[in-house]
Chain A
Amino acid sequence: MKVLVVDDFSTMRRIIKNLLRDLGFTNISEADDGSTALPMLKEGDFDFVVTDWNMPGMQGIDLLKAIRADSKLSHIPVLMVTAEAKKEQIVMAAQAGVNGYIVKPFTAATLNTKLDKIFERLG
């Protein structure tokens, strides 16, 4: 399974990458913004995206919408991991088709649970 981790802070990308590796994901790529992530996705056969919301170029919510709008990418499950905690944002993400929403700070257990849920739902 090819995973793309998108966050403008390299430390956060590193943490998520480590946690994913621990859970058995070995093929992990990184992008530092929605605007760099989208071309990577269009190019490359990704099976799963983990993204932050607040990024300077293209925000996570817009990346999500772009993924859902592209027929070649719309099937990809998207998990948001973000510090954005306003209720209207959570609802917005859900309505835009996010598969899971994790607020920072989060635990490895939470990530694990949400991933299980996402892949379980997809069969």
Chain B
Amino acid sequence: MSTNTSVHVSLEQAKLLVEYIETDQQDKADELIAEIQSPINTALFAEIGKLTRQLHDSLNNFHLDSRLNDLATADIPDAKERLNFVISRTEEAANKTMDAVETIFPVVDSIQQQISTVKPLWHKLMHNDLDIGEFKELCRDIDILLKTTEKETNKIHGLMTDVLMAQDFQDLTGQVIRKVIDLVREVEESLINMLTAFGMTADSEREKSAPKVGENLVEGPIVNAEERDDVVEDQDDVDDLLSSLGF
């Protein structure tokens, strides 16, 4: 029996089939039908066999790829922790900085106040309009001003150093974020491999879909404003947009 699938049934076979049926030889007719179908079936079974093998292999690879398992059970939870770390470090840094700044404001204010206290008498001095009593008062005030300023500027210096040091978060969070980016890349590759294995490769005909945010309007800070035309880039754009609409 040939496995040539291009010839399904010959005239001879058809004539023979009719003869069998006309002479009531059902068994022989069935046998002949089976014979005719056989090459088709063989080819079909071969195809199914091939697909089953492919599926079996893919599923095995899937299963054997413990990397995927690790990703799901360890690395992604780890990534979430890392990102939470970034949030808390940056919050900490912001608060430290603001603590320093909030402490500096009144210090600066007090220096400004001292200066305003001194100014009227100093002004008079500059215009040679000061009597000896006022001059003594001016000297005392300036003495206070100098001592205060000396103390406060030292304090400011220390606080500025605190602000500087608080910026260390950038380095630490940067490293952590890089690790997460690596992880995302790995997940991306795994997903692409999976899709490829199941024959769903990204065709060039298919459009690359833009990252969806569901039906949700809210996107948070835009990270690629230059590549988009549905967002504003700065406050001036906002103001222009609003005034162009009459607001």
Contact = CB atoms under 8 A, between A and B. Distances in A.
Contacts of B143: none
Interface in A64-120: 83-92, 94, 101-104, 106, 110
Contact of A90 (B91, B102, B222, B238): B238
Contacts of A89: 217-218
A84 B98 contact: no
B241 A87 contact: yes
Interface in A11-65: 11, 14-15, 18, 53-54, 59
A104 B91 contact: no
Contact of A86 (B95, B230, B242, B245): B230
Given A86-B230, A104-B221, A106-B235, A91 B241 contact: yes
Contacts of A102: 235, 238
Interface residues on A, range: 20 to 34
A35 to B, nearest CB: 16
A48 to B, nearest CB: 19
A53 B234 CA distance: 17
B225 interface: yes
A11 B217 contact: no
Contact of A14 (B98, B220, B231, B233): B98
Nearest to A12: B94
B230 A53 contact: no
B230 A110 contact: no
Interface of B: 91, 94-95, 98, 101-102, 217-222, 225, 230-235, 238, 241-242, 245, 247
Given A83-B221, A90-B242, 6 more contacts: A54-B220, A83-B220, A86-B219, A87-B231, A89-B217, A92-B217
